[in-house]
Amino acid sequence: MIVCHCRNISDHDIHAAIDWMRAADPETLATPGKVRRALGKPADCGGCTTLFLGTMRNGPNPEMPMHIRDLREATQETGTCKATARSSNASTVRSAAS
Ligand code: FES
């Protein structure tokens, strides 16, 4: 099935690119941008984004790297994201202002 008509990207192309990325680095986080870059086909109109993401999620290899699986639950429990500490942003702003 063709997912992106502008760049002629099929669901097989997307799944093959994700498999290739995971074979090279099992910890990699597959994003549409990385998949497009791996395929050498950048986005054009962007109209396929929803279908592109759905194809990525429903593929045979939708596994998330272990270290980021619990980020959503941790964020909902504490109200802050573990991935980006807010205090580091505040200190950067303060040091830049002085
Ligand atoms: S349909 Fe995919 S970029 Fe246009």
Q: Is 54 in the pocket of ligand 1 (CB under 6 A)?
A: no
User: In the structure encoding, which two tokens stand for residue 92, read together?
Assistant: 């950067």
Q: Is 43 in the pocket of ligand 1 (CB under 6 A)?
A: yes
Q: pTM for this structure?
A: 0.67
Tell me, yes or no, whether 28 and 47 share the same domain: yes
CA 98 to CA 95: how far, in whole Å? Answer: 5
CA 80 to CA 64: how far, in whole Å? Answer: 20
CA 44 to CA 24: how far, in whole Å? Answer: 27
Q: Which of 1, 2, 4 to mutate to test the pocket of ligand 1 (most atoms within 8 A of CB)?
A: 4
Q: What are phi and psi of 56, to 5 degrees?
A: -65, -45
Q: Is 5 in the pocket of ligand 1 (CB under 6 A)?
A: yes
Assign residue 19 the CATH number of its domain. 1.10.10
Q: Over the stretch 76-92, which tens digit does the pLDDT of each residue have?
A: 666 666 665 555 444 44
Q: Over the stretch 21-72, which tens digit does the pLDDT of each residue have?
A: 988 988 888 899 999 999 999 999 999 999 999 999 887 766 665 555 566 6
User: In the structure encoding, which two tokens stand for residue 87, read together?
Assistant: 């205090």
Tell me, yes or no, whether 18 and 39 share the same domain: yes
Tell me, yes or no, whether 47 and 7 share the same domain: yes
CA 85 to CA 73: how far, in whole Å? Answer: 16
Tell me, yes or no, whether 74 and 53 share the same domain: no
Tell me, yes or no, whether 33 and 79 share the same domain: no
To the nearest 10°, report the CA torsion of 52, 62, 30, 22. -130
